Structure 1
Amino acid sequence: MESTEVESEILRRVRSLLRQLDGHHPACQCDRGMLRWTLHKKIDQNPSNSSMLVSILVKELERAERGDFRHYIIPLLHTLMYTLIKAPCISDELCGRVYDFCKKLLTLPKPFCTIGLDYAARLKMERAAPGTLYQRMVIAEQSLKSDPYPYQEKIFIFADPELLSEAICNALVTDTEAAQVAQSPRACMCYVITHAMEAALGEGCDSSGLKASLQAMSLSEVEHWFQQVVAAVESAGHEASADRAQHAARLEKIHQAVLSSLQAGNAPLGGLQGTPLPNPNISFHLWTEEEQLWKELVLFIRPAAQSCEPECLSQELDAFEMQDILCGCECCLQPRFSVLSTDSGIERDLPLPAEDSLPPSPEPEHSRLHRKGGMRKKPSPLESVAFLQAGCNGAGLKPPGKLQRRAAPAPGPAALLQRLHTARILLLGDDRILGRLARAYHSLRKRETRRAFLTPRLNLQFYYIPVVAEQPSTSEQPATGQEGLCEVATYLGRADPWYESNINTLCHMIPKLATMPSSPSKHLVTDLFLTDVIAYYARMGTQPVCFQVYAVKLFFNDPAQEPAEDVFLTELRSQVQDSTSPRELSLTKKKTALDGPGIDLTVTYRKVVLSDRAKELALALRSTGLLMKAIPADEAEDLLCLNVTITEIIRINNLSGRSFSAVANRLRTQNINIRSTEQRPFTVCLDKDSRRTYRNVISLEVSPCLEPSYCLQKTRTLKLSLHGAEDGGLVKYLPKSLLLPINTFAGVIQ
């Protein structure tokens, strides 16, 4: 196919991509996500066309800017950057045009300026050291050992087996396992070497000879040249006066050295062949335990603790002493992790051990009293602080079994803990699994406030792919349509058209692919498509949309029963509870005949007004149920607001007798208290999940969930402040509410 025909074909595909953003594409809704995937796969089959696609995308971006088609800009920019990362070689002139366009976005409001600034910084480094973006992505995603760039990333897919069918879970397990089979550390290191050479040398790179030389080398030799290439690329990217020609000269020396080991002699240059971008490290988990999210993150972080700096670990482990401050913080109370000792702590009360069993004392004063190590109860490894410290063996750590005061920091610049790990948590399911995520996230934040282990080291990102499986409705919960179970995904799709095109379409596609008959073509489609879309979403979805998490406190009709505390993300539904005993049933019938169905409620709430002034209101009414929605029906509405609908029963007296009608009473609030005045119970269901249903409730309180770190600092400030000022110190600089960020491609486009 000639160059003009190829260019016309690529342009046609790009224009089809843009038409789907306007909603005019004739393709079926479930096939819209295939357009971007087929475009990138077309370029992967012939990498030499990458420059042509980048050039077309730059022209379309400039045309969108002139025509004020802003909803085209972010999808085109993501498509362009993903192509540029995988391209074997892009000219500096073309990269410069993209860089100049990204700088123009700085004059636009969010999220355009945010994405433009991020991509401009990346392009500046890529122009100085071509191949940097590809190299860093592969090193981080494959956890390759590299001192110049020690970052690691991993994608954790969590699915609730009670919400998804067994066929869907099995298909996803098969796909994620198949994606990891074809890649090894050796192959990924060869990819990095080859791509760096092609990006820097262009047509002067002998791709065929380079791959043959690396194939003939041992693993240690491949690792040696990998470290050389990484050091050269990273040093060029960090130099203030970086020169593209100087960087190419460095890699030319390495290129010749690698080729010199090939015995085949002088082979003709095969041109740019391109290097595949390997799939990221993905693990699939069935969410069966409440603490499973935290445990998986600890297992991801723990191996790195063996190579941490001792000074950093000493400072980080001292943060465990924060528990003394938290004693008076009610919202952050959590059971302490402790170990039981059988000794009294006094040396003379213990039997004298044998001489050869005494450990050598590092101090000259042997007569000083100190605690002896006693027999201790061994807790669960994942629930013990000792598990977190097990891999942190260094000279700067406190030796076990010896009491010490916290030493003053050594003079000189102290190395700070860096977040070298990024965990990308991908949720598969509907709003019910997001409610479970909000609960787990709140628990994790409380745990980290008491003992910060993950927070200093881990960058946590959340992603969401809606998947709805057909399930029969239960008697406790009314049947809800697919639209009702995916309110968060619907909101994200309206806010970000690129999320709607690439992610929301998977809601119907994943169940369809999971139930396809087993065939070679089926495995080809699922392995490539699902894994590629997940990887694309995790790599390019960097703009979070923050959802308010709400706390609810429930009181029960049994005085002996302790109040329950929980959180919800999407909705709270309450209904009148059916009476169980015959006496209560007869009283209920008499009451219903007189006052109508439902129960008498007292509602106290703080009304949301535009002036943001607090306005407390109270009302008494008779109701059969209520619904609190935290997800607005329109993306322009405020996310930090509850839309409460109370079904009020109105009594009507007329000539024919007494009748009753139901009226929807709507409120907008953030804080609301509801109490049953006649002590008749009602049920409360959180986040549409029948497993999170509370019965025999007579009163509830709902308010925005507070950030545990805010509670910690507030308690500390109150203890240290002489005047008891709540807003003093660091409290006014900390986020007050707990927000759950879910990443999309553009965030909320106004």
Structure 2
Amino acid sequence: MESTEVESDILRRVRTLLRELDRHHPACQCDRGMLRWTLHKKIDQNPSNSPVLVRILVKELERAERGDFRHYIIPLLHTLMYALIKAPCISDELCGRVYDFCKKLLTLPKPFCTIGLDYAIRLKMERTAPGTLYQRMVISEQSLKSNPYPYQEKIFIFADPELLSEAICNALLTDTEAAQVSQSPRASMCYVITHAMQAALSEGWDISSLERALQDMPTSDVEHWFQQVVEAVECAGDKVNADRGQHTARLEKIYHGILSSWQAGDTPLGRLPGTPLPNPSISFHLWTEEDQLWKELVLFTRPLSQSCEPECLSQDLEKFEIPEIISDCECCQQTRFSVLSTDSGIERDLPGAAEEPVAPGSTEAEQSRLQRKGGIKKKPSPVESVAFLQAACNSPGMKCPVKPQRRLGIPPEPPAPCQRLHTARIVLLGDDRILGRLARAYHSLRKRETRRVFLTPRLNLQFYYIPVMTEKPSTLEDQAATTPEELCEVAGYLGRADPWYQSNISTLCHMIPKLATMPSSPSKHLVTDLFITDVIAYYVRMGTQPVSFQVYAVKVFFSDPAQEPAEDVFLTELVTQVQDNVSHRELSMTKKKMTPDGPGIDLTVTYRKVVVSEREKELVMSLRSTGLVMKAIPASEAEDPVCLNVNITEMVRVNNLSGRSFSAVANRVKTRCIQIRSTEQRSFTVCLDKDSRRTYRNVVSLEVSPCLEPSYCLQKTRTMKSSLPKSEDVGLVKYMPKSLQLPINTFAGIIQ
């Protein structure tokens, strides 16, 4: 009777979760975003109910397929896989039904086939070696040392202190620190051992005695058995036709080896205990420096404790030497600081060395002896040092290249390629303004990688976005310019494209500020009660489908001819307004002209019109305008993602009985490249990504176009130097991504 009540309760919760996905029948607003969390927390409290939840979710998936409720499939599949990874023991029959369903998804369009293929591969490995998914997740998230699986992951939460209130930042910092309190490598290794035994040996073994034996062992013994378990599971999971019986026998041998050194008492076999899934490694950062993102990624990829031999460093330095052709690439023309000294430090090589008198009585050999001149030794910053950046020979999976022995007829052995063993999951908290800042930092990072490749071959970079709306905007200008809905346009677009993102992530926009202002409860320190941390962990674990947004480059020309043009990028919006603070000289020159022509300034707009046939046509129009708005985020998921929607406010003269007046008319333009030029002496202001801190004044002209990928520009420059100049891309250039796009991960991507 009790099992029937439990099954009915879980079924009711799953049905409520599905009703939340129906736009015409939304669930209670106070429960949105917490239904999935409470369902998984209920299973965590009693892990023996995991097979019941998996069985119900499989039935609902099959029912959604028969009834053609496709918007239910991906949320149900994510919920099922998350429960299956955390479950201590799931029968092979249930895993087989899920595996067969995932194979059926291969006949559907994206993103169903993509997610189905990914989960089918994981399930096939899980059926061969139970516990593989849990083991790999814990090893990578906790950065445990393991040769069979040397991958590491870390979550970086970035928040702009000028966009979020102090209470929100403190609450996020407190939750992040509380989630890491109970984390330790020893506990994580014990979890991996226990979960592997539960998954492979089922309920017929004394898991409670195993847990107590691991607690009484010294850390060195726990690490020894951990390596044994990881090697056994990975060996079975990597084989195509691995024998599950041999895998079970190997783990059974390890199980008896652990208990053989521990005196077990007469302990009765109780119900199957649950092995928790520890929270991932999370660090919270207040984004106060422009290059802070790049510095944190470098520190994660190359910790300070690691070092490298000088010989290995010099060889790496030669391998990463900057080519001369990079100076000809327009997109990469930045100030480059020298990293190699041209001064040998030898007194004989100094300019004034030849004029110094020779000491009497010294021989020619002594005179030619090399002596180094004394100087000040400056210790460079570990982040900016080239030695720090290139010292990757001691990292996992990488070998320091040995100096090749040059033998006659034997070419030197090429160095081993780098492996992406690190995954950095960047979680942005805030509104569209922090995404604009991310686009700027990402563009700067790509330009760094073009000049000298370091992070790209070693790091897998993933971006996530959680909208958070603070109570008060940072400045009065932001408050007057935008509304809360306009500040979260990217979140609105992602929510329309992915209903599961809307239910679990978009609802945090107002929930996080509310939770931050609530009084702290006595159970605040418990990891199980950390709602925000649990949701972030679920998002980064299951959100694997990116939605790419085009980054646009803007070049700004100023009224002062001596001032150099400014180059910047934006992601969401560009706004221009007529500048109010006009000088007396400009005001006297334009006073007569403003009276007949009305408010605003005369502009010349040159753009390439976007049509359905994609045949570009350049148009030019002149008008008087008070400002314009360029929207880069599509209004719906069906629109072209690489298209600017430009709304120009034109002032038109109207003649009526009362005299002449002016009315505002909205001109709408769809384009990818546009130029705006003021034909008067007056200038205007340009604001990027709704951020008043990124405002340019005294602007007379600007150019906007899709931002090019820096590596594409470099390769194209090389191709043009080696061959005749051609308009079309030739060679490797045509296979490279041309434009720079910022990918933000969601649960399903874009569902058409």
Please classify the TM superposition score into its range, dividing by the shorter chain length.
over 0.9
- Are 1:314 and 1:397, in contact at CA under 8 Å, matched by a contact in 2? no
TM (normalized to structure 2)? 0.92
Aligned residue for 2:77? 77
Establish whether residue 672 from structure 1 lines up as the match of residue 646 from structure 2: no
Q: Identify the residue that residue 569 of structure 2 maps to in structure 1.
A: 567
Residue equivalent to 2:158? 158
Query: Residue in 2 aligned with 1:113?
Result: 113
Contact 1:311 1:396 in 2 (8 A): no
Report the AA paired with residue 139 of structure 1.
Answer: I
RMSD of Structure 2 on Structure 1 (CA): 2.9
CA positional deviation for 1:372: 7.2
The one-letter amino acid of 1:635's match is E
Asked if the contact 1:606–1:616 (Cα under 8 Å) also holds between the matched residues in 2, the reply is yes
- Secondary structure, aligned partner of 2:654: strand
Q: Distance in 1 between matches of 2:289 and 2:606?
A: 36
> Alpha-carbon deviation of 1:474?
4.3
Partner of 1:689, secondary structure, is coil
Equivalent of 2:582 in 580, 583, 593: 580
How many residue pairs get aligned? The number is: 732
Aligned to 1:639: 641
Worse-superposed segment, 302-311 or 153-162: 302-311
Shift in alpha-carbon separation, 1:409–1:64, aligned structure 2, 3 A: farther
Which letter maps to 1:464?
Y
Cα distance in 2, alignment partners of residues 711 and 130 from structure 1: 47
Distance 2:583 2:319 in 1: 54
- Quote the Cα distance in structure 2 between the aligned partners of 1:46 and 1:708: 52
How far does residue 412 in structure 1 lie from its aligned partner after superposition? 6.1
Contact 2:308/2:392 (8 A) holds in 1: no
Between 1-10 and 342-351, the greater mean CA deviation after superposition: 342-351
Mapped to 2, the partners of 1:331 and 1:398 lie a distance apart of 36
Q: Structure 1, residues 216-241: CA drift from partner, whole Å, max 9, x if none?
A: 10000000000000000000001222
Amino acid across the alignment from 2:419: Q
1:599-614 alignment to 2 at 5 Å? 599-614=601-616
- For residues 692 and 549 of structure 1, what CA distance do their matches in structure 2 show? 16
- 511-520 vs 490-499, greater mean Cα deviation: 511-520
Compare 5-14 and 308-317 and name the one that shifted more. 308-317
Measured against aligned partners, the alpha-carbon deviations of 1:534-588 in whole angstroms (never above 9, x if no partner) come to: 0000000000000000000000000010000000000000000013323433444
TM alignment of 1:536-551, pairs within 5 A: 536-551=538-553
Corresponding residue of 1:727 = 729
Corresponding residue number in structure 2 for 1:214: 214
Change over 3 Å in CA distance of 1:198–1:96 after alignment to 2: same
Residue 347 of structure 1 and its aligned partner are, at CA, apart by 7.2
Give the structure 1 partner of residue 65 of structure 2.
65
Query: Aligned partners of 1:369, 1:285: CA distance in 2, in Å?
Result: 53
Name the counterpart of 2:88: 88
Distance change >3 Å, CA 474–CA 346, structure 1 → 2: closer
Rounded Cα–Cα distance in structure 2 between residues aligned with 1:536 and 1:369: 66
**Which stretch shifts more, 531-540 or 304-313?**
304-313
1:190-223 deviation digits (Å, cap 9, x = unpaired): 0000000000011123110000100110000000
Mapping for residues 516-555 of structure 1, pairs under 5 Å: 516-521=518-523, 527-555=529-557
CA distance in 2, matches of 1:543, 1:370: 61
1:416 aligns to 2:413 (yes or no): no
AA at the equivalent of 1:598: G
Runs of 5+ unmatched residues, structure 2 = 355-366
Q: Aligned equivalents of 1:312 and 1:70: distance in 2?
A: 55
| Local SS of the residue matching 2:501 | helix
1:197 and 2:200 correspond? no
- What is the aligned partner in structure 2 of residue 256 from structure 1? 256
Q: What CA distance in whole angstroms lies between the structure 1 residues aligned with 2:496 and 2:293?
A: 29
Asked if the contact 1:646–1:665 (Cα under 8 Å) also holds between the matched residues in 2, the reply is yes
- What is residue 462 of structure 1 aligned with on the other side? 463
Contact 2:586 2:681 in 1 (8 A): no
Equivalences for residues 310-389 of structure 1 within 5 A:
317-339=317-339, 341=341, 343=343, 348-349=348-349, 378-389=379-390
SS state of the match for residue 73, structure 1?
Answer: helix
Matches within 5 A, 1:164-203: 164-203=164-203
More displaced stretch, 224-233 vs 265-274:
265-274
**The one of 489, 492, 495 aligned to 2:491:** 489
Contact preservation (8 Å) 1:153, 1:423: yes
1:196 partner amino acid: A
Q: 1:652 to 1:369 in 2, by over 3 A?
A: farther
DSSP 3-state at the match of 1:156: strand
Contact 2:650 2:666 in 1 (8 A): yes
Which whole-Å deviations, capped at 9, do the CAs of 1:639-682 have from their partners, x for residues lacking one? 11000000000011234321110000000000000000113100
Q: CA 1:201 to 1:315, structure 2 compared with 1: closer, same or farther past 3 Å?
A: farther
Q: How much identity, in percent, do the aligned residues show?
A: 80
Return the alpha-carbon distance in structure 1 between the equivalents of residues 409 and 534 of structure 2: 50
Whole-angstrom distance in 1 between the partners of 2:146 and 2:368: 46
Q: Does 1:303 align with 2:303?
A: yes
In structure 2, what is the Cα distance between the partners aligned to 1:743 and 1:137?
A: 18
Aligned to 1:443: 444
Distance 2:207 2:678 in 1: 76
1:314 is displaced (CA, Å) by 8.4
Contact 1:31-1:505 at 8 Å conserved across structures: no
Q: Partner of 1:31: helix, strand, or coil?
A: coil
Mapping of residues 421-436 of structure 1, within 5 Å: 421-436=422-437
**Does the CA contact (< 8 Å) of 2:111 and 2:748 recur in 1?**
yes
Q: 1:176 is aligned with what amino acid?
A: T
Say if 2:443 is the partner of 1:453. Answer: no
Secondary structure of the 1:730 match is: helix
Q: Structure 1 residues 319 and 450 mapped into 2: Cα distance closer, same or farther (>3 Å)?
A: farther
Distance in 1 of aligned mates of 2:605 and 2:41: 57
CA contact (8 A) 2:320 2:452 kept: yes
| Residue aligning to 1:294 | 294
Contact 1:305-1:391 at 8 Å conserved across structures: no
**Is residue 89–residue 202 contact of structure 2 (8 Å, CA) maintained in 1?**
yes
Q: Distance in 2 between matches of 1:327 and 1:28?
A: 59
SS at match of 2:731: coil
Provide the rounded CA distance (Å) in 1 between the counterparts of 2:556 and 2:292.
26
Residue identity in the other structure for 1:268: P
Quote how far apart the aligned CAs of 1:519 are: 2.5
Cα offset, 1:29, TM superposition: 2.5
Deviations 1:458-480 (A, max 9, x none): 00000000001022574544242
Instruction: Select between 370-379 and 212-221 the one with higher mean Cα deviation.
Output: 370-379
Corresponding letter in the other structure for 1:715: T
Deviations 1:708-741 (A, max 9, x none): 0001101111111145565122100000000000
Shift in Å at residue 71 of structure 1?
0.4
Report Cα offsets for 1:56-75 as digits up to 9, x if no partner: 11111111111110000000
**2:694 aligned to 675, 692, 696, which one?**
692
1:225 counterpart residue number: 225
Aligned to 2:133: 133
Shift of 1:177: 0.4
Deviation at 1:269, TM superposition (A): 2.5
Shift of 1:421: 0.2
Mapped partners of 2:371, 2:457: distance in 1: 31
Q: 1:475 to 1:231 in 2, by over 3 A?
A: closer
Give the structure 2 partner of residue 361 of structure 1: none
